[in-house]
Chains A and B, each alone.
Chain A
Amino acid sequence: MPNANPPAIRFVDVKRFFGDVHAVDGVSLDIQDGEFFTMLGPSGSGKTTCLRLIAGFERPNAGQILLHGQDVSNLPPYERDVNTVFQDYALFPHMTVGDNIAYGLMIRKVAAEERRQRVEAMLEMVRLPGIANRKPSQLSGGQRQRVALARALINQPRVLLLDEPLGALDLKLRQQMQIELKTIQKRVGITFIFVTHDQEEALTMSDRIAVFNQGKIEQIGTPAEVYEHPATAFVAGFVGVSNLIQGEAARKITGSEAVFSIRPEKIHLAEPETPVPANSFGADGRIREVIYLGINTRYVVELDGGGELMVIQQNLNATSMDVLAARGQRVRLVWDCSHIRALGSAEAGKN
């Protein structure tokens, strides 16, 4: 039943098993047209399998995958209007950069002159003009990444799939490509589905994020929602720094044994005996570890009531000498009541 504006991708209770492993275990989701959608999760959480299901490299054992309202569950990859940027780029080593990018156009029998022009235009867009005659082996990692992007985008797919495409790049290049990808996505206006295990990357680029764990989706939401209002302990732990307090230790602070999470940058580091303001929680402890990171410092504080909390403070006036001297000192942690998130499950994700 195709309605007026079907979502770009719809998963209806999709399952994919490999032997006993439930790689994708009942995933349902809608991805809107033109969205930058990120699938975030640790390795083995099913995010890449979901991407491969959309591309057609895998077929679901159960459930349905709809592409713009059309059921594609049993269509081979070459019948689907999606293109993929592979983790290892998968450039054809025996072809020039130009032939690589024109591959999809060759299959569609686009005339040679038009192919040449469109390849040049694509290389212009990914800011690599004039390299059409080189071989992929002559390019750097970052350049190959852009060629792979150009090769996928030249076909003007309605959905572009990106499988951890920035994983092999160094930090500087990765940050630059994050911004560039987002810019290109806004320009071409097609749906991007991006798979990553890097929560920072997910928060930076996405319109919405789906957090995967053990073949299931834990939460779908905007970056702010996922970060500020984690739905489960796993999300709280995987996105951002894991700061969970539960049981007896939690009761001493909030009066309830329910597990709660608190973001490390929301906590103030105060002198012992500092009065706790109204609508705030306070907890006493001792600084066990200090990690100086330049723009800020991470403190690991052992609470007297049990448990540990990470605290991040900006180095406004402090120098590295000052903060390192804080190790072993007693402190009082203070934070606003509204910043804690009470969570159902006690199972915490690893960061």
Chain B
Amino acid sequence: MLRRISTALYLRSWLLLLILLGPPLIWMTVIYLGSLFTLLINSFFHLDEFTGQVVRGFTLQNYFDLFAPANLDIFGRTAGMAAAVTLADTLIAFPLAYYMARFASQRVKSTLYLLVMIPLWSSYLVRVYAWRLILAKEGILSWLFEHLGLGFVLDGLLSLPAIGGPSLAISAIGMFLVFCYVWLPYMILPIQTALERVPRSLLEASADLGARPGYTFRRVILPLAFPGVVAGSIFTFSLTLGDFIIPASMGNSSYFIGQAVISIQGTSGNIPLAAAFTVGPIVIMIVYLLLAKRLGAFDAL
């Protein structure tokens, strides 16, 4: 009996594929794509100003509203933060990933792997609140700055317009630090994987043909690691773009996209506008992913 089933499945591999992929595919289409589709539909409805009820008729008004200066500000602020975090994480992750891939012994490498992964085992909320304590006005960082006689540096930073604030825990600088910290592992691992795939003989060949280490880095290592960088940046960029907890716990009244969505659909109950707001980052990410695909980022995942 079992043998006949095995044979039948072996001869008709499409059947096996259907059995294995069917349930997850149904899940994906109904739950995931379905909700995205509902979101899209909702973004074309509008709110009746008198009754507060959702009117199910087609309008592009929500999308026009997105282009109001206040909303453009929110998009700009969020995308700017996402870009800054991505850039900083790339700069921090690359040397470490390079060390792990090229120089670390097997032992050191697995220890580093563990150290990179360990933070991911603890709750993200706990880590954010831990950082709030570190960055607070009476926190260890201010204390350190004071005792090094560098208190004026911190005060100077915090007095900067737009990115400053009353303390590091309530400022764009602090938010930036925490974003960089929480998404760093997602940048290290893809870059490390990409670098690991560069055979040593390619570097030797480059040196053999007369290239100094700097030239080899620019012409061989960087181009081959680039898909890994792009893959990592997809994580850091999209995660920052969609996050609302860090801005909510560390920000001031200047909203990020995630906060705006919550406030629009919660406080003012304007589900259609909130839906339109959500389509914004989705479009940004689709454009980003298409670009990344052209750069070969998905070959390194």
CA distance A57 to B215 in the complex (A): 17
Is A103 in contact with chain B by the CB < 8 A criterion?
A: yes
Find out whether the CB atom of B206 lies under 8 angstroms from the CB atom of A103.
Answer: yes
Is B22 in contact with chain A by the CB < 8 A criterion?
A: no
| B209-221 to A contact mask, C-beta < 8 Å, 1/0 | 1111001000110
Q: Which of A146-161 contact B (CB under 8 A)?
A: 151-152, 155
Given A86-B204, A93-B224, are A103 and B209 also a contact pair (CB < 8 Å)?
yes
Is B282 in contact with chain A by the CB < 8 A criterion?
A: no
Determine the chain A residues whose CB is within 8 A of the CB of B201 once the complex forms.
86-88, 90
Determine the chain B residues whose CB is within 8 A of the CB of A103 once the complex forms.
206, 209, 211, 219
Expressed in whole angstroms, the minimum distance between the Cβ of B56 and any Cβ of chain A is 52
**Total number of A-B contacts with CB less than 8 angstroms?**
58
Is B9 in contact with chain A by the CB < 8 A criterion?
A: no
Is B223 in contact with chain A by the CB < 8 A criterion?
A: yes
Find out whether the CB atom of B208 lies under 8 angstroms from the CB atom of A83.
Answer: yes
| A65-83 to B contact mask, C-beta < 8 Å, 1/0 | 0000000000011100011
Determine the chain B residues whose CB is within 8 A of the CB of A82 once the complex forms.
208
Q: Which of B223-255 contact A (CB under 8 A)?
A: 223-224
Determine the chain B residues whose CB is within 8 A of the CB of A151 once the complex forms.
209
Is A262 in contact with chain B by the CB < 8 A criterion?
A: no
Is B153 in contact with chain A by the CB < 8 A criterion?
A: no
CA distance A19 to B289 in the complex (A): 48
Expressed in whole angstroms, the minimum distance between the Cβ of B143 and any Cβ of chain A is 47
Is B70 in contact with chain A by the CB < 8 A criterion?
A: no
CA distance A88 to B201 in the complex (A): 8
Find out whether the CB atom of A78 lies under 8 angstroms from the CB atom of B199.
Answer: no
Find out whether the CB atom of A104 lies under 8 angstroms from the CB atom of B199.
Answer: no
Q: A90 is contacted by which of B199, B223, B224 (Cβ under 8 Å)?
A: B199
Q: Which of A37-76 contact B (CB under 8 A)?
A: 55-57, 76
Find out whether the CB atom of A108 lies under 8 angstroms from the CB atom of B210.
Answer: yes
Is A84 in contact with chain B by the CB < 8 A criterion?
A: yes
Expressed in whole angstroms, the minimum distance between the Cβ of A61 and any Cβ of chain B is 20
Is B92 in contact with chain A by the CB < 8 A criterion?
A: no
Is B91 in contact with chain A by the CB < 8 A criterion?
A: no
Determine the chain A residues whose CB is within 8 A of the CB of B211 once the complex forms.
78, 103, 107
Given A88-B199, A90-B201, are A77 and B220 also a contact pair (CB < 8 Å)?
no
Find out whether the CB atom of A104 lies under 8 angstroms from the CB atom of B204.
Answer: no
- Interface size for B (C-beta < 8 A) is 17
Find out whether the CB atom of A78 lies under 8 angstroms from the CB atom of B204.
Answer: no
Find out whether the CB atom of B224 lies under 8 angstroms from the CB atom of A107.
Answer: no
Determine the chain B residues whose CB is within 8 A of the CB of A77 once the complex forms.
204, 207-208
A99 nearest in chain B by CB position? B219
Determine the chain B residues whose CB is within 8 A of the CB of A90 once the complex forms.
199, 201-202, 204-205
Q: A84 is contacted by which of B205, B215, B219 (Cβ under 8 Å)?
A: B205
Given A90-B199, A107-B215, are A83 and B209 also a contact pair (CB < 8 Å)?
yes
| B51-78 to A contact mask, C-beta < 8 Å, 1/0 | 0000000000000000000000000000
Find out whether the CB atom of B209 lies under 8 angstroms from the CB atom of A104.
Answer: yes
Given A86-B204, A90-B201, A90-B204, are A107 and B223 also a contact pair (CB < 8 Å)?
no
Expressed in whole angstroms, the minimum distance between the Cβ of A25 and any Cβ of chain B is 23
B216 nearest in chain A by CB position? A78
Determine the chain B residues whose CB is within 8 A of the CB of A187 once the complex forms.
none
Determine the chain B residues whose CB is within 8 A of the CB of A92 once the complex forms.
202, 205-206, 220
Determine the chain B residues whose CB is within 8 A of the CB of A57 once the complex forms.
204, 207-208
CA distance A84 to B203 in the complex (A): 12
Determine the chain A residues whose CB is within 8 A of the CB of B206 once the complex forms.
92, 103
Determine the chain B residues whose CB is within 8 A of the CB of A172 once the complex forms.
none
Find out whether the CB atom of A78 lies under 8 angstroms from the CB atom of B202.
Answer: no
CA distance A88 to B200 in the complex (A): 11
Q: Which of B258-276 contact A (CB under 8 A)?
A: none
Expressed in whole angstroms, the minimum distance between the Cβ of A236 and any Cβ of chain B is 34
| A117-156 to B contact mask, C-beta < 8 Å, 1/0 | 0000000000000000000000000000000000110010
Find out whether the CB atom of B207 lies under 8 angstroms from the CB atom of A107.
Answer: no
Expressed in whole angstroms, the minimum distance between the Cβ of B230 and any Cβ of chain A is 14
CA distance A87 to B201 in the complex (A): 9
Find out whether the CB atom of B205 lies under 8 angstroms from the CB atom of A78.
Answer: no
CA distance A90 to B205 in the complex (A): 6
| B171-211 to A contact mask, C-beta < 8 Å, 1/0 | 00000000000000000000000000001011011111111
| B83-101 to A contact mask, C-beta < 8 Å, 1/0 | 0000000000000000000
Determine the chain A residues whose CB is within 8 A of the CB of B219 once the complex forms.
103
Determine the chain B residues whose CB is within 8 A of the CB of A83 once the complex forms.
208-209
CA distance A344 to B215 in the complex (A): 53
CA distance A8 to B201 in the complex (A): 24
Expressed in whole angstroms, the minimum distance between the Cβ of A183 and any Cβ of chain B is 24
Determine the chain A residues whose CB is within 8 A of the CB of B208 once the complex forms.
55-57, 77-78, 82-84, 152
Interface centre among A56, A91, A103 (most CB of B within 10 A): A103
B226 nearest in chain A by CB position? A94
Determine the chain A residues whose CB is within 8 A of the CB of B207 once the complex forms.
56-57, 76-78
Expressed in whole angstroms, the minimum distance between the Cβ of B106 and any Cβ of chain A is 15
Determine the chain B residues whose CB is within 8 A of the CB of A55 once the complex forms.
204, 208
Determine the chain A residues whose CB is within 8 A of the CB of B220 once the complex forms.
92
Expressed in whole angstroms, the minimum distance between the Cβ of B227 and any Cβ of chain A is 10
CA distance A87 to B202 in the complex (A): 11
21 contacts between A and B (CB under 8 A): A55-B204, A56-B208, A77-B204, A77-B208, A78-B207, A82-B208, A84-B205, A84-B208, A86-B204, A88-B199, A90-B199, A90-B204, A90-B205, A91-B205, A92-B206, A94-B223, A103-B209, A104-B209, A107-B215, A108-B210, A155-B210
Instruction: List the 6 closest pairs (A to B, CB-CB), nearest first.
Output: A90-B205, A90-B201, A77-B207, A104-B209, A107-B210, A84-B208
Given contacts A78-B210, A87-B201, 5 further A-B pairs with CB under 8 A are: A55-B208, A76-B207, A84-B208, A90-B201, A104-B209
